[in-house]
Amino acid sequence: MLLFTFLVTLPACLSSMKVSPLIEKISDHKDLKKLLRTRNNVLVLYAKSALVAEHQLKLLSDVAEAVKGRSTISWLDCGDTEGRKLCKKLKVDPSSKPSGVELLHYKDGTYHTEYNRAETFKSIVAFLRDPEGAPLWEEDPNAKDIVHLDTEKEFRRLLKKEERPLLVMFYAPWCGACKRMMPAYQQAATDLKGTYVLAGMNNVHLPEYDRIKEEFSIKAYPTICYFEKGKCQVQFENYGATAKDIADWIKNPRPYQPEAPEVPWAEQDSSVYHLTDKDFDQFVKEHTSVMVMFHAPWCGHCKKMKPEYEQAAEVLQSYEDRPGVLAAVDATASKALAEKFHISGFPTLKYFENGAEKYTLPHLRTQKKIVDWMLNPEAPLPPEPAWEEKQTSIIHLIGEDFREFLKKKRHSLVMFYAPWCPHCKNAIPDFTSAADGFKEDRKIAYAAVDCTKEQNRDLCKQEGVEGYPTVNYYNYGKFVEKYLGERSESDFTGFMRSLREKDHGKGKRKDEL
């Protein structure tokens, strides 16, 4: 009798759920095939039973209204007779999930991915509007103490009601600088909880927020404003700040004062001759033996080597019969020289004899080695070919080709590196060997970007490269995540193999559909 009552009342329960008419119930295989043939952005809820689906269907009804015209939501009861057959055929088993439901996304007629983000209205809507996009900031559990704002109304309400000092980051989801700053910002929010409020407002680049952008002088992202009593008092502009930097600043907010610029090396007292495009040729003709250090002002290894190079120049000057002179060229200012001598990394040492280039000198980084070599200049051992000069399965990318190439690949693992970096040198053989294992797969790429090349500098900043090596994973050209695994061949291979196994699972569903 109880079972009979349950079966009778179940349809009534479902009809009272106020399921949106926009949500289509799938009854059989034919329904699903037709749905995927006619719609290109579909989210399907597979449920252990109709009763279990009730909570999710309430939520998805609201989502369906928000994504109307852009996405389709359907559901399938794996507990009824027909539904059980279809779920078994598709190898979908919602009963194996603690919640009893499984959300799968289909794109362009085929299985795309399992929805595994937060099951909230905002997260599902954001996913369906951009199934390839990154999760919302508020989905990060470490960002729980950030006040997340989505509309101008929410923003104005916060300014009006909040009596504590308030910091608001206006950001865009595609902004690399914003992503790099978020961990420090959210940690500061946790550290300052109860005394100060830190908030984030997304998508301010959209036209609907033009009034906010004009009112608070938002011309780039992130823009971070400090508010007291609803008024923006000052902007925070230290975008490389730590959580402690943010906490210290908010306790004493003041306009950002950049550090005094470092005096260029060429303007300091120096025993090194500083040459430019204009005087270089004449200088090397007038001096029989010249070592030249090509450097860049921002290069940490150049700064580390500079005192050694200066001391070596002083030692060479002390000889009566001077064996040679040391010179330096700022390759970022003297671009013609850098191009003429094919300077691709810093520092680069070259030796000139009687006005002509004779040797490139690797591994001379200390005063003693430099002086000893100048006293007895001889050919160095031939340098090992650069990574990009070797025949491997690695694709070496340049700035303008980067995005176009990756768009054609389903899975790409990209190493951003510097030729001088010891950690890169250690990882390169394993990365290369892993690439060889997938060289026949046209949908997979292992690629590399030399961040010391002039044409790659902006790209590396844009992709969030702050140290070497940085390895990023991309799906059809879109950044998905940083690779944080070990740098062995087996780990690089295992990472890609796990992606291919997921594809294989998708392929099974695709074949069966």
Active centre residues (catalytic):
175, 178, 299, 302
Tell me the C-alpha to C-alpha distance, in Å, between residue 469 and each of 176, 319, 368. Answer: 18, 43, 30
CB distance 110 to 104 below 8 Å: no
Sole residue written with tokens 């306009």:
255
Structure-block tokens of residue 368: 């003693």
CB distance 178 to 221 below 8 Å: yes
Q: If you count them, how many residues does the chain have? A: 513
d(CA 229, CA 243): 24
| 3-state percent breakdown (helix, strand, coil) of the chain, nearest 5 | 40, 20, 35
d(CA 361, CA 465): 28
d(CA 147, CA 346): 44
d(CA 361, CA 364): 7
Residues with Cβ within 8 Å of 501's Cβ and at least 6 positions away in sequence, in order, are: none
DSSP 3-state assignment of 475? strand
CB distance 66 to 136 below 8 Å: no
